[in-house]
A and B are shown apart, each in its own frame.
Chain A
Amino acid sequence: MLQLGNPRRFLDVTGKLLPWLAAATAVLFAVGLWLALNVPPDYQQGDSVRIMFLHVPAAWVAMMAYGLMAFAGATALVGRHPLADIALKTAAPLGAVFTALGLVTGSLWGRPMWGAFWVWDGRLTSFLLLLFLYLGIIALGNAIEDEVRAARAAAVLAIVGAVNLPIIHFSVQWWTTLHQGASILRQGGPAIAPVFLWPLAIMALAYTALFMTLWIVRIRTTILERKAAVLVATGRA
């Protein structure tokens, strides 16, 4: 990690790594999707169960991305490291996209299951709040012109959010049990049959690899952009 902290070293290492990571992403997606489309239909959910293979990994990556972003934020604040600034700033939109993907696939799955595109289910509601948190961090980072201050402000908000997220999740769970009389939902998702586990695991790996690939590309692009900006500003280009 420390070795990678140097932007030049980061560019060197990830430059070699990136093609392999991208190839692994493609292979994992191909295998995962093939498996997901070839499992037998669920006895309760029918073919709708296949949405799960797109939905669950998206939700998982959305949360992992938040954890990584908050970690980058803490590193940026403590270590005052430019690479951590960039890592935070670039992770936020990716995390937001995966959260949105989780919400969209969740509601697509909900239509045949619940008869409605949106229900105020505990998980969906938690994820909606997570999406707002992501959007708030992006908006705050964009509203402050100075790069360093923008990154630090976003980092503070990301950390505050990380402390608050488990509480939000818990309170939303409590909220659904309180109002259960009015809802038609059951707690928790369906238990996973073993035959679905393999495709799910491979799709989870595929999504993780996709996130990592995109994140590294975005970090590299931002480093190069800033280098270019310095060259222009100092009149060397």
Chain B
Amino acid sequence: MTFALAIERLALTRGHRRLFAGLDLSLRAGDLLSLTGPNGAGKTSLLRVIAGLLAPTEGIVRIRTDSGEAVDGEDRARLVGWLGDRDAVKPQLDVGEQLRFWAKLYGTPAPEPEAFGLKPQLPGQYLSSGQKRRLALARLVLTGRKLWLLDEPLAALDDDGKALLAGKLTAHCAAGGIAIAATHDPLGVDGLTLRLGDA
């Protein structure tokens, strides 16, 4: 058995607007999926539904773990690594404090900030938006989760940062993980593509 994600007949209506319906998707360990589509097509909402943060109008999201166990419902949250559209960086805490907090919360070892081009003593309020994105990436890596969900991971990253992200994505998928990234630009890694909003 290998790690896998299955989505069946997924539909989401927000307000009176139908974002997507009848969405089927099946990903296996090692797959990288780029989620594309125009603004407002429902990319972020789809990621939130997959993470279990948002309940779909219809359909199921099911994850099969390495041990063959099928996980759906709220338990799914325990398998998801999240890099949201917002960076979740606290201005009052320095880089090291933030990473140590999230590592303790997720029960995993804290990574070296230097590996992401960050100085541990740098206060959150002085981070540039690109540095905040790097911090968010470091946090995604430290979760050690097998299903990565990334919302516009390239935003504000410089070329080095983009290469760093591509490296982490490649390593994650090579290690048997799955990654889904909502993005407007190419990730720089070969993978599958799903386009939303053309229905």
A, B from the same assembly: yes
| Interfacial chain A residues near B16, Cβ < 8 Å | 229-230, 233-234
| Interfacial chain B residues near A233, Cβ < 8 Å | 15-17
Range of interface residues on B (Cβ < 8 Å): under 10
Which residues does A use to contact B, with CB under 8 Å? 146-147, 229-230, 233-234
Which residues does B use to contact A, with CB under 8 Å? 15-17
Chain B nearest Cβ from A131, distance in angstroms: 32
Given contacts A146-B15, A147-B15, A233-B15, 5 further A-B contacts (CB under 8 A): A229-B16, A230-B16, A233-B16, A233-B17, A234-B16
Binding site of A, secondary structure by majority: helix, strand, loop or mixed?
helix
Chain B nearest Cβ from A79, distance in angstroms: 14
Please provide the 8 A-B residue pairs with the shortest distance between their CB atoms, ordered closest to farther: A233-B16, A230-B16, A229-B16, A234-B16, A233-B17, A146-B15, A233-B15, A147-B15
Chain A nearest Cβ from B148, distance in angstroms: 28
| Interfacial chain A residues near B15, Cβ < 8 Å | 146-147, 233
Inter-chain CA distance A34–B16, complex, in Å, is 50
> Can you report 8 A-B residue pairs in the complex whose CB atoms are below 8 A from each other?
A146-B15, A147-B15, A229-B16, A230-B16, A233-B15, A233-B16, A233-B17, A234-B16
Inter-chain CA distance A156–B15, complex, in Å, is 21
Inter-chain CA distance A233–B17, complex, in Å, is 7
Q: Which residue in chain A gives the minimum CB-CB distance to B55?
A: A80
| Interfacial chain B residues near A230, Cβ < 8 Å | 16
Inter-chain CA distance A147–B16, complex, in Å, is 10
Chain B nearest Cβ from A125, distance in angstroms: 41
Q: Which residue in chain A gives the minimum CB-CB distance to B17?
A: A233
Inter-chain CA distance A233–B16, complex, in Å, is 6
Chain B nearest Cβ from A35, distance in angstroms: 50
Q: Which residue in chain B gives the minimum CB-CB distance to A229?
A: B16
Inter-chain CA distance A147–B15, complex, in Å, is 8
Q: Which residue in chain A gives the minimum CB-CB distance to B14?
A: A146
Chain B nearest Cβ from A226, distance in angstroms: 9
Chain A nearest Cβ from B187, distance in angstroms: 32
| Interfacial chain B residues near A234, Cβ < 8 Å | 16
Inter-chain CA distance A233–B18, complex, in Å, is 10
Inter-chain CA distance A64–B16, complex, in Å, is 34
Inter-chain CA distance A229–B17, complex, in Å, is 11
Inter-chain CA distance A234–B17, complex, in Å, is 8
